[in-house]
Amino acid sequence: MSAIRMSREEARQQATRLVEQMSLDEKIGQLEYDAQSIERLNVPEYNYWNEALHGVARAGTATVFPQSIGLAAMFDPEMQQKIGDVVSTEARAKHNEYARHGDRDIYKGLTFWSPNVNIFRDPRWGRGHETYGEDPYLTATTGVAYIKGLQGDEKYLKLAACAKHFAVHSGPEGIRHGFNVDPTPKDLAETYLPAFKAAVQQGHVESVMAAYNAVDGVPAPLNTTLLQKTLREEWHFEGHVVSDYGAEEDVKLYHHFTKSDAETIALAIKAGCDLCAGHLVQYLRQALAENLITETAIDGAVTRLLTTRVLLGLGATDDKYDQIPFEDNDSATNHELALQATYKSFVLLKNNGILPLKSADLKSIAVIGPTADSTVVLQGNYAGTASNNVTILAGIRQAATKSQIRVNYSEGCHLFKDRVEPLAKADDRESEAVIAAEHSDVVVLCLGLDSTIEGEQGDAGNAYAAGDKTDLRLPGRQQHLLEQLLALNKPVILLITAGSALTFNSEETNDNLAAIMDVWYPGALGGQAVADVLFGKMSPSGKLPITFYQTTEELPDFTDYAMKNRTYRYMPNEALYPFGYGLTYSSVELANAQVSDVDASLAHANVDVQITNTGKFDVEEVVQVYSQAVDCVDATPNPKLAGFKRVKLAVGETKQVTLPLTTYAFEVVNDAGEIYVPDGKFILTVGVGQGDRRTERLTGVKALQVEVNR
């Protein structure tokens, strides 16, 4: 650390002195997200609501990084922390200027309700692309790195990050306001809580957001088991808790858990939910009159909130972050970091050798599809305003023009409707797409989703499913367009723009489908990154942070939160594309895997392996370790991700890679939710993906195995 962080005790003492001078009304005025000013105490008004899932959001111009699911696909915590640092710099740059102009509106404060560390347990969930995928370890590792980047390492917090949504929240969107989840103790401890625990104990996250849903019959903002026993007593969390927006209103309206709003706000504060992201604190005087709460309990919540603000520099004259200038926002350096992240996020799912494209062999390219020229698809949701959007079409056109390659463009079809022009017949852009393909050497087909049909409840384009998907198929006429173009015997490169898994009606095996690459929602410079990768300036190197299933029929009901048959750790069937999978433009071989520095209690161990770039392209590869306890009834059915490392390899280069493992690699969870390290043998699988047969067939790389005994 470059400075000694102000102690929480010192900040709490300052906050306590402020609270002791406040009237009851002044204290109540601090308990909603749009906190009131107290001019006589030099406490300005403050709005706690801000967003930064992948860049500063909803507050004007800022660098737009790839959506969170794409950042997870990087498998690169070091890069993730750099991104967090840049996001917090931009946030401070904007906040400093806003404050100077007296603008303390929503989305302009320093408390950011990010990251979303919920587990993407079901591919139908519309908000899954806000998360870091389906695996607890990847989510925890990526989330902690982002939190550290956001919060900084100086005397004061750079920003206050917030781990959300606590807990057991991942759809369906349409019933989230009144839904109850009864997770098994095993699923809770093994899947739903680890990323939050890591955020608190490793990331020292300043805030936690309580979810909309109930857990074991108790709405999350009132859930003392979660907020007191787990969060504060077991994990020793010392920051503040905020409700999701309107979640406290839901307690009476949809959960029917309380009889009055006064009862709700009293129970929430007593349970440890300090900040109401809603408008129920007006009922606190009624709650006091009915003896539902004490002023001492109110004081505790206000003190925790003001402690956060003191840690952020409230009243300070020596906060170096106050000196961050406006020019540090949306800078060329920040754009370059976003571009590098985008390269790392792309996941190459198929390549028959067509990629990278050779400009000298091409006279024309068809760029087709409803997401090819879309700026919405670049952004994802909870995004800032980019100053420099480069769509996929624009990026390819720019690169092609330099090489004197003609670009033939057609929208092909609507994103989800059966026609583009309302007065036209169905499939009104299909013939144009076919013509463009017929007159081109290769087809780049851009299909998928965007955040208007895959996202949070209320997204207009998908009102019938509240932002969720009903299945994994391409929407509208996209599948039909794909099949029509494949029938032309032209090589087709499919670019998937989506934040979740899709299926292609078995067309992924069609020989004319020469390559498939998932580019997610790639950020403002997504089109430039696509062109650079297609033409070989960079190799794709991302790995899937989610499973691509064959069908939704193999999955349990969407409302079933049990992990059985879900995600790579529990699924019995072969995946369409497995978690952890992704190709590069080269090939690698692994050799000489072994274990070293093994602690007797398995608190730590190292896995060492040699990796050689045997192909013809400089690449970055992600070496992964999966662990499973042998003959242990409490182990997950399939090995779990326990470690990974991104490695740069020049052509022909061999590197010795050491992957440190923590006790997590060897832990199992029993049915009572107890975490322990069993006696016996553990199999550690080292590869560039999982050690399953499907991954081996797709990558052509055989994973290695080593054993550890306890």
547-574, pLDDT tens digit by residue?
999 998 999 999 999 999 999 999 999 9
Q: Which of 460, 378, 394, 383 lies closest to 52 in space, CA to CA?
A: 383
473-506 confidence digits (pLDDT tens): 999 999 999 999 999 999 999 999 999 999 999 9
Average of per-residue pLDDT across 605-611: 98
534 neighbors 396 (Cβ within 8 angstroms):
yes
623-682 confidence digits (pLDDT tens): 999 999 999 999 999 999 999 999 999 999 999 999 999 999 999 999 999 999 999 999
pLDDT at 3 over 80: no
Report angle CA 648, 622, 120 to the nearest 5 degrees. 145
132 neighbors 117 (Cβ within 8 angstroms):
yes
Q: Which of 73, 617, 618 lies closest to 341 in space, CA to CA?
A: 73
The length of the chain, given as a count of residues = 710
Angstrom distances, CA of residue 139 to CA of 129, 193, 290, 320, 486: 12, 11, 43, 31, 37
Which tokens in the block code for residue 159?
A: 């920003």
Q: How far apart are CA 343 and CA 528, in angstroms?
A: 10
Average of per-residue pLDDT across 399-421: 97
pLDDT at 265 over 80: yes
Which tokens in the block code for residue 287?
A: 């709650």
Alpha-carbon torsion 221, 224, 228, 234, what sign?
Answer: negative
Q: What residues does 297 pair with on adjacent strands?
A: none
User: Quick check: is 244 catalytic?
Assistant: yes
pLDDT for the residue numbered 2: 54
Q: Using pLDDT thresholds of 50, 70 and 90, give the confidence band for residue 462.
A: low
Q: Are strands 588-596 and 513-518 parallel, antiparallel or unpaired?
A: unpaired
Residues 6+ apart with CB under 8 A from 423: none
| Beta-sheet strand order (sheet of 162-166) | 162-166, 207-210, 240-243
pLDDT for the residue numbered 459: 58
Q: How far apart are CA 112 and CA 106, in angstroms?
A: 11
Q: Using pLDDT thresholds of 50, 70 and 90, give the confidence band for residue 620.
A: very high
Q: How far apart are CA 623 and CA 621, in angstroms?
A: 6
Placement of tokens 């806003």 in the chain? 98
pLDDT for the residue numbered 466: 74
Q: How far apart are CA 697 and CA 585, in angstroms?
A: 16
Which amino acid makes up residue 455? Answer: G
Percent of the chain with pLDDT over 90: 97
Q: How far apart are CA 334 and CA 655, in angstroms?
A: 30
Q: Using pLDDT thresholds of 50, 70 and 90, give the confidence band for residue 463.
A: low
> Can you state the percent helix, strand and coil of the chain, rounding each to 5?
35, 20, 45
Residues 6+ apart with CB under 8 A from 431: none
Task: Concatenate the DSSP letters of all residues of 14-70 into one string.
Answer: HHHHHHHT--HHHHHTTSBSEEPPBGGGTB--EE-----SSS--SSSB---PPPHHH
659 neighbors 607 (Cβ within 8 angstroms):
yes
Q: Using pLDDT thresholds of 50, 70 and 90, give the confidence band for residue 4.
A: confident
pLDDT at 460 over 50: no
Which tokens in the block code for residue 38?
A: 């107290």
Q: Which of 43, 48, 51 lies closest to 32 in space, CA to CA?
A: 48
Average of per-residue pLDDT across 499-515: 97
pLDDT for the residue numbered 457: 83
Q: Are strands 347-351 and 513-518 parallel, antiparallel or unpaired?
A: antiparallel
pLDDT for the residue numbered 368: 98
Q: How far apart are CA 425 and CA 297, in angstroms?
A: 64
Q: How far apart are CA 519 and CA 378, in angstroms?
A: 10
Q: How far apart are CA 611 and CA 589, in angstroms?
A: 6
CA 58 to chain centre: 18
Q: How far apart are CA 392 and CA 293, in angstroms?
A: 56
Residues 6+ apart with CB under 8 A from 557: none
135, 244, 274, 692: the active-site residue: 244
Whole-angstrom distance between the N-terminal and C-terminal Cα of the chain?
36
Q: Which domains, and CATH codes, for the chain? A: 8-318 (3.20.20.300), 332-570 (3.40.50.1700), 588-709 (2.60.40.10)
Average of per-residue pLDDT across 89-98: 98
90 neighbors 333 (Cβ within 8 angstroms):
no
Q: What is the mean pLDDT of the chain?
A: 97
Task: Concatenate the DSSP letters of all residues of 374-422 into one string.
Answer: -SHHHH-SS--B-SS---HHHHHHHHHHHTT-EEEEE--S-SSSS-SST
Burial class (CB in 10 A: 0-12, 13-18, 19+), 256: exposed
pLDDT at 369 over 70: yes
Average of per-residue pLDDT across 453-481: 83
Task: Concatenate the DSSP letters of all residues of 557-624 into one string.
Answer: PTT----TT-HHHH--SPPSB-TT--B-SS-EEEEEEEEES--TT-SEEEEEEEEEE-SSS-EEEEEE
Q: Which of 524, 529, 219 lies closest to 386 in space, CA to CA?
A: 524
pLDDT at 80 over 50: yes
